[in-house]
Amino acid sequence: MDTCVVSVSMNLAVIGLQFGDEGKGKIVDFLAERFDIIARFSGGSNAGHTVIHDGVPVKFHLLPSGVIRGKVGILGNGMAIDPGKVLDEINMIKSMGIHPKLYISSKAHVVTSLHRALDSRDDELVGIGTTKQGIGPTYTSKYRRIGIRVADLYNPQTLEKKLQLFIELNSLNIDKNELNEELKRLSHYGTLIKDSVVDTEVLINNMMDSGKSALFEGSQGTFLDVDFGTYPFVTSSSTTVGGVVTGLGVPPSKIHRVLGIAKAYTTRVGAGPFPTELSGKEGDELRARGREYGATTGRPRRVGYLDMVLLRYASLINGVTEIALTKLDILQGMDEIQVGTAYDCNATRYLYPPANIDGCKVNYDLYAGWASIDDKNLNDYVKNIERETKARVSILSYGPEPESTVEL
């Protein structure tokens, strides 16, 4: 295997190794020039990616950010797509003078305003602290087999029947007028996106077979994955590498490399266990230094030390081949930095997280802080990550701009 981070015509999955917000948007943007296709496979507008384009921050929630670089963007079948929000983002980039080459899966599931309303209602009771983007109810409908797929936007009878079922099964208080409004709105959006709607699994495989390369852009992170995350405090989709296969129809043999993105420390938005969390003054300072506020909801993120128990596991289950380490500038100048190495849960030591990590006690190692990006102490921090994850750290990121990035 060559050691170059990403060679041309290799397909690369980019996966968050923590709780999301690792800086995937910036790294995907940094690598986008090397690929023909940038494809998303899971989630929806719960994600938030900020990229700096011509010196200006541009926020994406649904579209793969690579479309601003003229790349083919694909929204895969595994996604939960709010068509109104897709149109907003298309219009945003058109206003920048860019016409996106975008394809939307006919089999992706549609988030309606009713799904969004139900998300808010349910979360009051459940207390996950969701982004209120309708993600949970949309995937619930999918697995309940009453979900609305993009293809249904062109079939008024099916659309009406499915919305009615959704209303009945969830005891929603929606009258006939409201239902008709929603049907009209969805059909209208359907018309506006129609030219982009295709069977993306066929398109992407044919493109790759003819020599085009693809970057599979993950959303959220490994510990928000519905199977491997800190259940039930997770999102409702597969955010790990398996999501590429089911969420795009790409066979495993076409995923050549897996780039894991890890922040130099850890953050989390919303409720759920966070063993290395820092509270009080130390936490407040790190949050302020790292400007840790949610890109979708603006909520302050919880912050804490790097957790090697989580990274080891994320690397294992995603088959990570290389790692991009982000936000190194935020820790720069600290005297010493702690790193979680193992958990003690009910008198048992764990190197990988067990099913329930709430209440686990963390063991820490201490690392000397670094004063610059080429400081030997940073090299020690990085080498430890490589040893523990068995993956090569191939990118260091120390600022939001593309220039604040080095490839090793």
Contact between residue 259 and residue 15 where contact means Cβ atoms under 8 Å apart: yes
Is residue 235 a contact residue for ligand IMP (CB under 6 A)? yes
Name the catalytic one among 21, 29, 152, 225. 21
Task: Please tell me the distance from the alpha carbon of residue 320 to that of residue 12, in angstroms, as a whole number.
Answer: 10
In whole angstroms, how close is the CB of 144 to ligand IMP at the nearest point?
Answer: 16
Among residues 27, 47, 58, 320, the one that binds ligand IMP under rule CB under 6 A: 47
Cβ atoms of 146 and 162 closer than 8 Å: yes
**Position 135 contacts ligand IMP (CB under 6 A):** yes
Size of the site for ligand IMP (CB under 6 A): 20
Eight-class DSSP state of 277: B
Q: Which helix (H) or strand (E) holds 280?
A: helix 280-289
For residue 28, which of 375, 204, 246, 41 has the smallest C-alpha distance?
A: 41
Enter the tokens of residue 122.
Answer: 């349910």
Other CB atoms within a 10 A radius of the CB of residue 312 amount to 20
Q: In whole angstroms, how close is the CB of 331 to ligand IMP at the nearest point?
A: 20
Q: Give me the 276-315 binding string for ligand IMP, x by CB under 6 A, dash otherwise.
A: ----------------------------------------
Query: Between 132 and 256, whose beta carbon lies closer to ligand IMP?
Result: 132
- For residues 23 and 62, what is the distance between their CA atoms, to the nearest angstrom? 16
CB of 358 to ligand IMP, least distance (A): 15
CB of 357 to ligand IMP, least distance (A): 15
Residues forming beta bridges with residue 62, ordered by sequence position: none
Nearest CA-CA partner of 268 in 15, 19, 4: 19
Question: Which of 140, 200, 220, 230: binder of ligand IMP (CB under 6 A)?
Answer: 220
DSSP 404: S
Residues 6+ apart with CB under 8 A from 253: none
Task: Name the residue nearer to ligand IMP (CB basis): 5 or 39.
Answer: 39
Candidate ranges 126-134, 152-160, 254-262, 371-379; the one touching ligand IMP (CB under 6 A): 126-134
How far apart are alpha carbons 356 and 112 in whole angstroms?
A: 33
Helices (H), 290-331: 308-318, 328-331
From the candidates 29, 36, 49, 199, give the one annotated as an active-site residue: 49
CB of residue 326 to ligand IMP, shortest distance in Å: 14
Using the rule CB under 6 A, is 190 a contact of ligand IMP? no
Which one-letter amino acid corresponds to residue 25?
Answer: G
Considering the complex, what minimum distance in angstroms separates the CB of residue 130 from ligand IMP? 4
49 is catalytic: yes
Q: Which residue minimizes CB distance to ligand IMP?
A: 270
Applying CB under 6 A, among 10, 59, 117, 129 the residue interacting with ligand IMP is 129
Cα dist. 402→32, 55, 236, 332 in Å? 11, 10, 31, 18
What is the three-class DSSP state of 380? Answer: helix
The window from 27-35, 83-91, 97-105, 132-140 that contacts ligand IMP (CB under 6 A) reads 132-140
Residues of this chain, 9-28, that bind ligand IMP according to CB under 6 A: 20-21
Residue 357 Cα distances to 56, 231, 351, angstroms: 40, 10, 12
Of 92 and 128, nearer to ligand IMP (C-beta) is 128
Question: Contact with ligand IMP (CB under 6 A): which of 46, 112, 213, 240?
Answer: 46
Using CB under 6 A as the criterion, which residues of the chain lie in contact with ligand IMP when the complex forms? 20-21, 46-48, 128-131, 133, 135-136, 219-220, 224, 233, 235-236, 269-270
- Positions marked catalytic: 21, 49
